[in-house]
């Protein structure tokens, strides 16, 4: 049975799938008989682009794999199935005074998705990525093999699966190290900054005494106001700060339908951004007690907020570039401001230098900027193509979990370790994203089976990149069981490679 209602969060590109939900972790994978049909696990569909899509293939929805296996209230070690959401973990553990070690901006993601995208949060400068706190997991491969993966067991598969975009097999369950808290509330502050230099000063200072920092930036501001915004920072409560009474907020609003495409136009976005910046002004640096829900997940209270962008969907773009040279990120802001395309939400955060165990992990020391753009035809794609080049020149990277349009050339420049990952991909697993970014760019050999944006820039742009541009080391280096391919693997020849490994 084919379905068109399993989409990504950005609702672009559209895809059609055969659906085979998973119900029990002990069951074998319901693989299609046709071996050319690829499969991909699908959790909450919160990836923005096409990394959670497998157009023309099969999706394995994992949400019914939502059983807990074990919890030790002394050590905070939790073992649960991969379809459990972070929200379900919090609902379970917060009252027991444990919290997620790392959480992204939504609690509506599964544990499997959090590992597959090696998600990060407002405490990256302290805690690294989600993968840093995954003690072990079980990986079910299409040949029926169940691999226990940890830093000590099947380490190459452990590394390849963290940030491995769901391609290395099905994560059935995982063991996480939670962190102790005293109360569900946090001490939070909102601090305005007038420009990017101010941001760096404020952020660097805050990172010393705040566990959580993140900034919202008014992308429509230009000139002397370029990069103005608000920094949100917070800490869990100390025992002596715990309030006697606490009212748990309950607000929930579901956006019932797609808003018309013109709802988010440059005027509404600019006005919103200006209003939001002004509104926060009087509240400066007055610390308040805030529940963890609105602090970590402000958008979760509007369910289906992606429908704000109408049926055509939107593009999210998250980049990271080194922070030692501030002109890099300034130039990027200038590019966006000059383009006249406003991002409704722009989020800025300085990453720490914790390295993740994940092979294809996105965060690296520097500053990261997340933007979302309504799709306004070719000019939106053109802007992002231009940013791709700027990021590549700065030896940065773009986040696969949010991407729907990156060219193979750019992806492979940002993540040269992709060829090592290809060795560990399960021969029956693939995704729209993976087929797109590993496709050979020559127009005479189209490998893409999925619909790609008509504005696909990969064949049009002059190359400004050098082959060995990015210095990112391969974590697997010595342990790789076979040498990376000299040519780009396609879905068919990666089959062969992965079989070689499993023998």
- List 14, 16, 21, 330, residue binding other proteins (CB under 8 A): 21
State the Cα–Cα distance between residues 3 and 238, nearest whole angstrom: 49
Instruction: Considering the complex, state which of residue 84 and residue 165 has its C-beta at the smaller distance from other proteins.
Output: 84
1 binds other proteins (CB under 8 A): yes
Closest distance to other proteins from the beta carbon of 451 (Å): 22
Percent helix, strand and coil across the chain, each rounded to 5? 30, 20, 50
Task: Choose the stretch contacting other proteins; rule: CB under 8 A; options: 18-26, 122-130, 189-197, 423-431.
Answer: 18-26
What does the per-residue mask of binding to other proteins show for 63-92, with x meaning CB under 8 A? Answer: -x--xxxxx--------------------x
Instruction: Considering the complex, state which of residue 175 and residue 407 has its C-beta at the smaller distance from other proteins.
Output: 175
Query: How are beta strands 346-351 and 58-61 bridged, if at all?
Result: unpaired
95 binds other proteins (CB under 8 A): yes
Task: Choose the stretch contacting other proteins; rule: CB under 8 A; options: 17-25, 99-107, 198-206, 290-298.
Answer: 17-25
State the Cα–Cα distance between residues 1 and 330, nearest whole angstrom: 49
Sheet holding 212-217, edge to edge: 288-291, 185-193, 229-236, 212-217, 346-351, 366-374, 314-321, 397-398
- As given in the structure block, the two tokens for residue 39 are 């499969």
Instruction: Considering the complex, state which of residue 82 and residue 269 has its C-beta at the smaller distance from other proteins.
Output: 82
Instruction: Considering the complex, state which of residue 79 and residue 343 has its C-beta at the smaller distance from other proteins.
Output: 79
State the Cα–Cα distance between residues 363 and 360, nearest whole angstrom: 9
What does the per-residue mask of binding to other proteins show for 337-366, with x meaning CB under 8 A? Answer: ------------------------------
Closest distance to other proteins from the beta carbon of 23 (Å): 5
DSSP for residue 255 = -
| Residue with the two structure tokens 């830093």 | 151
Closest distance to other proteins from the beta carbon of 174 (Å): 14
DSSP for residue 245 = -
State the Cα–Cα distance between residues 325 and 329, nearest whole angstrom: 8
Instruction: Considering the complex, state which of residue 23 and residue 263 has its C-beta at the smaller distance from other proteins.
Output: 23
Radius of gyration of the chain (CA): 22
Closest distance to other proteins from the beta carbon of 310 (Å): 19
What does the per-residue mask of binding to other proteins show for 23-52, with x meaning CB under 8 A? Answer: xxxx--------------------------
User: SS in 3 state form for 412-464?
Assistant: HHHCCCHHHHHHHCCCCECCHHHHHHCCCCCCCCCCCCCCCCCCCCCCCCCCC
Residues 152-171 binding other proteins (CB under 8 A) are none
252 binds other proteins (CB under 8 A): no
What does the per-residue mask of binding to other proteins show for 226-245, with x meaning CB under 8 A? Answer: --------------------
The closest of 324, 355, 352 to 211, measured between CA atoms, is 352
State the Cα–Cα distance between residues 42 and 105, nearest whole angstrom: 19
Task: Choose the stretch contacting other proteins; rule: CB under 8 A; options: 20-28, 138-146, 236-244, 287-295.
Answer: 20-28
- As given in the structure block, the two tokens for residue 8 are 């990504």
User: Up-side HSE of residue 473: CA atoms within 13 Å toward CB?
Assistant: 7
Query: How many residues touch other proteins (CB under 8 A)?
Result: 16
Instruction: Considering the complex, state which of residue 2 and residue 478 has its C-beta at the smaller distance from other proteins.
Output: 2
Task: List interacting residues with other proteins (CB under 8 A).
Answer: 1, 3, 5, 21, 23-26, 64, 67-71, 92, 95
């Amino acid at each position: 049975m084919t379905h068109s209602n399993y989409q990504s969060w950005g609702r672009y590109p559209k895809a059609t799938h055969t659906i085979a939900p998973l119900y029990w972790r002990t069951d074998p994978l319901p693989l299609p008989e046709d071996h050319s049909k690829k499969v991909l696990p699908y959790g909450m569909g919160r990836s923005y682009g096409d990394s959670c899509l497998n157009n023309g293939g099969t999706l394995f929805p994992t949400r019914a794999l939502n059983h807990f296996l074990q919890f030790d209230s002394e050590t905070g070690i939790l073992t649960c199935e991969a379809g459990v959401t972070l929200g379900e973990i919090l609902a379970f553990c917060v009252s027991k005074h444990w919290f997620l070690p790392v959480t992204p901006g939504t609690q509506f993601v599964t544990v499997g998705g959090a590992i597959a995208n090696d998600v990060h949060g407002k405490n990256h400068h302290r805690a690294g990525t989600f993968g840093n706190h995954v003690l072990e997991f079980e990986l079910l491969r299409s040949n029926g093999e169940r691999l226990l993966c940890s830093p000590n067991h099947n380490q190459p598969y452990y590394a390849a699966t963290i940030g491995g975009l769901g391609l290395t097999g099905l994560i059935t369950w995982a063991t996480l190290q939670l962190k102790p808290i005293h109360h569900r509330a946090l001490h939070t502050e909102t601090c305005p900054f007038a420009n990017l230099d101010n941001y760096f000063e404020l952020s660097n200072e805050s990172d010393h005494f705040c566990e959580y920092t993140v900034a919202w930036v008014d992308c429509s501001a230009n000139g002397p106001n370029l990069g103005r915004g608000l920094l949100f920072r917070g800490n869990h409560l100390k025992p002596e700060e715990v309030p006697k009474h606490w009212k748990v907020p309950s607000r929930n609003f579901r956006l019932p339908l797609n808003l018309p495409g013109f709802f988010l136009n440059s005027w509404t976005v600019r006005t919103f951004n200006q209003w939001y910046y002004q509104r926060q002004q009087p509240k400066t640096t007055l610390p308040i007690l805030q529940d963890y829900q609105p602090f970590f997940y402000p958008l979760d209270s509007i369910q289906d907020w992606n429908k704000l962008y109408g049926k055509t969907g939107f593009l999210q773009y998250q980049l990271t570039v080194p922070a030692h040279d501030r002109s890099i990120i300034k130039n990027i802001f200038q590019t966006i401001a000059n383009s006249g395309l406003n991002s409704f939400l722009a989020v800025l955060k300085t990453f720490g230098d914790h390295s993740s165990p994940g092979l294809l992990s996105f965060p690296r020391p520097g500053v990261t900027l997340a933007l979302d753009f309504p799709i306004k035809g070719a000019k939106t794609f053109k802007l992002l193509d231009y940013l791709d080049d700027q990021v590549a020149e700065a030896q940065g990277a773009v986040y696969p979990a949010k991407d729907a349009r990156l060219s193979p050339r750019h992806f492979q420049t940002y993540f040269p370790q992709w060829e090592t990952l290809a060795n560990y991909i399960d021969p029956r697993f693939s995704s729209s994203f993976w087929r797109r970014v590993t496709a050979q760019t020559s127009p005479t050999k189209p490998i893409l089976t999925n619909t790609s944006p008509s504005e696909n820039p990969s064949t049009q742009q002059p190359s400004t990149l050098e082959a060995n541009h990015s210095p990112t080391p391969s974590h697997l280096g010595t342990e790789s069981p076979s040498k990376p391919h000299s040519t780009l693997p396609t879905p068919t020849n990666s089959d062969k490679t992965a079989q070689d490994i499993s023998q």
